[in-house]
Amino acid sequence: ILAISVPITLSVIAVTGWWLGGMAMQPIRHSYDHLQRFTADASHELRSPLSAIISNSQYGLLSKSSDPEAQRQRFQKIFDIAKSMSSLVNNLLFLARYQGRLPTESLQEVDLTSLLKQVIDEYVTQTEAQHINLIFKLPANSVNVLGDKLLLHQAVVNILSNACKYTPNSGQVQLQLYTQSRWAVIQVTDNGIGIPETDLPYIFERFYRVDKKRSRKTGGFGLGLAITQQIIQSHGGEIRVKSAVGQGSTFQIFLPLTSKGLGIGC
Ligand code: ADP
């Protein structure tokens, strides 16, 4: 009996150990793959503008042309590329810095009604220039959440600027704020190009662009939604999207209301 049961027991222990080990390794492997892909994507995104800066400055150094306008244009090109690289690096630093929930001591009571009014003020000129009809529906009262005002401002601007970016001239973008049980909801709806159903599950991933050519033209790196989702999740909130190609998209940001926002103890 011993001769049979000992090897069987040992094999069961070995197989269970291997299986449990594999299970435990899964999340680590997933994080590692994720990190590796992120690093590869970030390096790839930085490599092409860097090559453009190198080739433009090399050409400028070797060129015998004394045309000041040509020189100015080359400097302008280098400046523009460097600025866009700087924005990419800032975004990457942001994604690395803000992981998890924000510490309570860094949060303050934020009135979303006035925050959205400020965003609208900043956007009116741009939407007018693009002939986009910007409609806003804000409540008369304040809607309070606990948060970091600058980060929330950035989250709304990211969603609103995408709505304008992916809506053709003469289109319509609607910005709305309302409450739903214990949530404040910021809703941005556009009647632009929309997002294919197959891409929807991935659009919050870092560096994901639906149409690489289209985004290149509009200057995006595919980081805006990843940053926005990170900001909202760090506030204990959630972001949702509904979209149909050729009809438009609706993004909803859910943020937990404070007791003041819920009308308790005011
Ligand atoms: P990008 O900087 O490329 O706009 P984002 O992370 O902000 O990156 O968005 C990811 C992708 O989601 C975009 O490349 C675009 O294809 C798609 N997208 C985001 N918002 C909209 C929208 N309102 N309408 C259509 N497509 C959108």
Q: What is the pLDDT of residues 24-71, one digit of tens each?
A: 667 777 777 777 777 888 888 888 889 989 998 998 888 887 888 988
Sign of CA dihedral 253, 201, 220, 96: positive
Residue 59 CB partners (closer than 8 Å, separation 6+): 74
Whose CA is closest to 169, among 137, 196, 134?
A: 134
Rg (CA), the chain: 25
Among protein residues, the one with the nearest Cα to ligand 1's atom 8 is 222
Q: Which of 134, 190, 199, 203 to mutate to test the pocket of ligand 1 (most atoms within 8 A of CB)?
A: 203
Residue type, 158: N
* Predicted complex: ipTM over 0.90: yes
Of the candidate ranges 28-32, 78-82, 140-144, the one whose mean pLDDT is the lowest: 28-32
Distance 229 CA to ligand 1 centre (A): 13
Q: How far does the centroid of ligand 1 lie from the alpha carbon of residue 211, in Å?
A: 9
Residues 6 or more apart whose Cβ sits within 8 Å of residue 25:
none
CA of 222 to the centre of ligand 1 (A): 7
* Average pLDDT of the residues in 84-105: 83
Buried b (16+ CB within 10 A) or exposed e, 184-199: bbbbbbbbbbbbeeee
* Distance of alpha carbon 112 from alpha carbon 142, whole angstroms: 7
Given a cut of 70, whether residue 217 has pLDDT beyond it is no
Please give the mean pLDDT across all residues of the chain. Answer: 87
Atom 25, ligand 1: residue with shortest CA distance: 194
